[in-house]
Chains A and B, each alone.
Chain A
Amino acid sequence: MSNGSAWLNRLVNSLADSKFFNFLAGRVLVPFWAWRTPVYPQHGGPHAAIQPGDNMQRMMNLVLPLKDKTAVGRAKAALAIASNLDEIYAGLDNVGTVHFARFVIINNNMCMISSYDGDFSNYIRDFVAQLGTVFDSVVALIEDGDAMIPTKENIDAFINWVHDRDVYQIPDVATDLLRYGTIRHPTSKPGMVDDLQLLPRALILQLNANPNALLGSGYRGYPGITVAQIRHKMGMGW
């Protein structure tokens, strides 16, 4: 390779990290490929699974946009939690399948983040039974939330509403992303051959369709153990 072409090669190799290319990709290439090879928003939360280990310590990451995006709106959301602490703690204790749960305000979103054992629908159903009043006061502050109130009387619709706002979980197995979109080798018969080099584009288009994402199923310090087992083993009296 001559000095001139070597210089050009280095320039092209550095292109992917350049501001110019990032601008071009963000404004032109991503919208173009999202149009050309559509990828649709995925369901939120963990993927359905029948194996015990996949149904323990499942992650929920609700992102709920606040109606009022001022400090006053954020304070109202904080107050909705702070003024119901007894109900929240008693409810979480009674649900009995929650490893941890927390409320976080990030960029004018009320985020409810928890790790729980078992089925998602039953988890939300238990929650509403125990914490319906708190949910109502929080959901009242969230965009598109009014139709869900009172949550105890709209339980199935509310479960779907929550599911839609649980963030999309990117699969642990990276190559599974190839199955979700329409990313195929351009020279092959449709549906026959994948193109591993297009996996990064599959990820980009997924994150274009699902801007909020949980990256994999997450780390567990004591995998394969339920809340009930820990409480029993540690002699905590539940």
Chain B
Amino acid sequence: MAKREMAERLVEAVIADFPDHKPGTRPAHTIGIGVTGHFRATKVACDYCVAEHFQGQKVDVTVRFSNSLGSPVKHDGWSDARGMATRFHLGGDKATDLIAMTLREFFSPTPEDFLELSKHARMRPVKAASIWSKIWDLLHLKPPLPDPYEGQTVSGLAGSLNYANHHRSAQLAAFDASYLGAPVSYARASYNAVHTFIVTAPDNTRRYVRFSWQPVAGVEAIKPSLSPEDDYLQPELRDRLEAWPAEFLLLMAVGETGDPLDDPTKAWPLHRARIVMGVLTLVKVPDDQDTYCEKLAFNPGRLTRGIEISNDPVLAARIGAYEVSRQLRGGSACPFSKE
């Protein structure tokens, strides 16, 4: 299948997953908030990567935090993945993006598999399991599926779980997703770039790496026993940044021979060497959210000299899909460029 056709099919598949998707908005991660701040690399970062933003100078950034669903309705308190897309504004009109989420791994090893998964994970009417079914599950030492949230009428959970039962590549993400919960703040979650990238050092050493953001304030999720609130993440972030900046460490795990370099469904061991590449400081929620958030279009393939994509087929497909999505909704690649 041609790259463009695959990209279009991926976007269509994601849009089809959300019956209430609103044209002109993002197919997924529709609800979000833009934030500005700066990034400063650590002293060691330039030993590992020649990219401009790792040389130690202050680099302006725009970050968009998001909920993963493609619905235009806010459900901040629902257990789900959150996104953190970061744009590093380099010299001139240049920029590079880093797109991350709270899951440590992706559901599919190939775009074809993702198309199949999205059919199964499509939103379907949902209701609480019967009490007899729950008791039957408990007698099997099997936690019953959670009741739908109040007001929730559709869900893709059962379908995606069924798909994961038949496809081992989807199991880890499906299992981790079931325990994600909702963060108390966008600034209190870890975000993983999931895909492998290749960074080049000043001595031309090329390393396979995976990036992640760790919140300096620590990770904290809402207690699952509390009733979920629909709209707290954006007000919380505004209040937080008015009082004090929020910081994240950029960590870079270095892969070894034998690590799954091209498969985003497989997390690397937690004990891989990891380098602190820099500190991100978020200071402000701009008033102009249309420019700094809604119209802004990120892309995992927007890289700069010193960082390359790996042979991960999902990463390659996402690069095309993000561009198709941008064109569909009339997004701009960069608020400071004419792209």
Contacts and interface: CB of A to CB of B under 8 A. Distances in A.
Given A217-B269, A217-B270, A174 B172 contact: yes
Q: Which 10 residue pairs of A and B lie closest in terms of their CB atoms, listed nearest first?
A: A224-B273, A201-B141, A175-B171, A12-B131, A223-B271, A51-B258, A51-B256, A12-B134, A220-B271, A175-B172
Contacts of B178: 196
A25 B269 CA distance: 33
A127 interface: no
A223 B141 contact: no
Nearest to A17: B225
Contacts of B147: 9, 13
Contacts of B256: 51-53
Contacts of B267: 173
B164 A8 contact: no
Contacts of B232: none
A151 B142 CA distance: 46
Contact of B273 (A25, A29, A53): A53
A223 B164 CA distance: 32
Contacts of B175: 174-175, 196, 199
Contacts of B143: 16, 197, 200
A30 interface: yes
B338 interface: no
A197 B161 contact: yes
Interface of A: 1, 5, 8-9, 12-13, 15-16, 21, 25, 29-30, 33, 50-54, 56-57, 172-175, 178, 185, 193-201, 204, 216-220, 223-225
Secondary structure at chain A's binding surface: helix, strand, loop or mixed?
helix
B257 A29 contact: no
A25 B274 contact: no
Interface in B123-153: 128, 131, 134-135, 137-143, 145, 147
Given A9-B147, A54-B271, A225-B273, A15 B135 contact: yes
B215 to A, nearest CB: 17
A195 B165 contact: yes
Nearest to B105: A173
Nearest to B131: A12
Contacts of A219: 270
A12 B257 contact: no
A210 B175 CA distance: 23
Interface residues of B, number: 36
A146 to B, nearest CB: 37
B138 A21 contact: yes
Contacts of A198: 140-142
Interface of B: 128, 131, 134-135, 137-143, 145, 147, 161, 164-166, 168, 171-172, 174-176, 178, 254, 256-259, 267, 269-274
Contacts of B172: 173-175
A224 B271 contact: yes
Given A172-B270, A197-B161, A8 B254 contact: no
A153 B306 CA distance: 57
Contact of B272 (A5, A8, A50, A224): A224
A54 B271 CA distance: 7
B87 to A, nearest CB: 29
A51 B273 contact: no
A172 B269 contact: yes
B271 A196 contact: no
A8 B141 contact: no
A12 B129 CA distance: 11
A15 B133 CA distance: 13
A173 B260 CA distance: 14
Given A12-B131, A174-B172, A193-B166, A53 B142 contact: no
Given A12-B135, A30-B141, A51-B258, A217 B174 contact: no
Contacts of A21: 138
B128 A9 contact: yes
B137 A197 contact: yes
Contacts of B141: 25, 29-30, 33, 198, 200-201, 204
A194 B171 contact: yes
B165 A193 contact: yes
Contacts of B269: 53-54, 172, 217
Contacts of B257: 51
Contacts of B135: 12, 15
A167 B147 CA distance: 37
A197 B145 contact: yes
A220 B270 CA distance: 9
A201 B171 contact: no
A174 B178 CA distance: 12
Contact of B271 (A53, A195, A201): A53
A223 B165 contact: no
Given A15-B135, A185-B165, A200 B270 contact: no
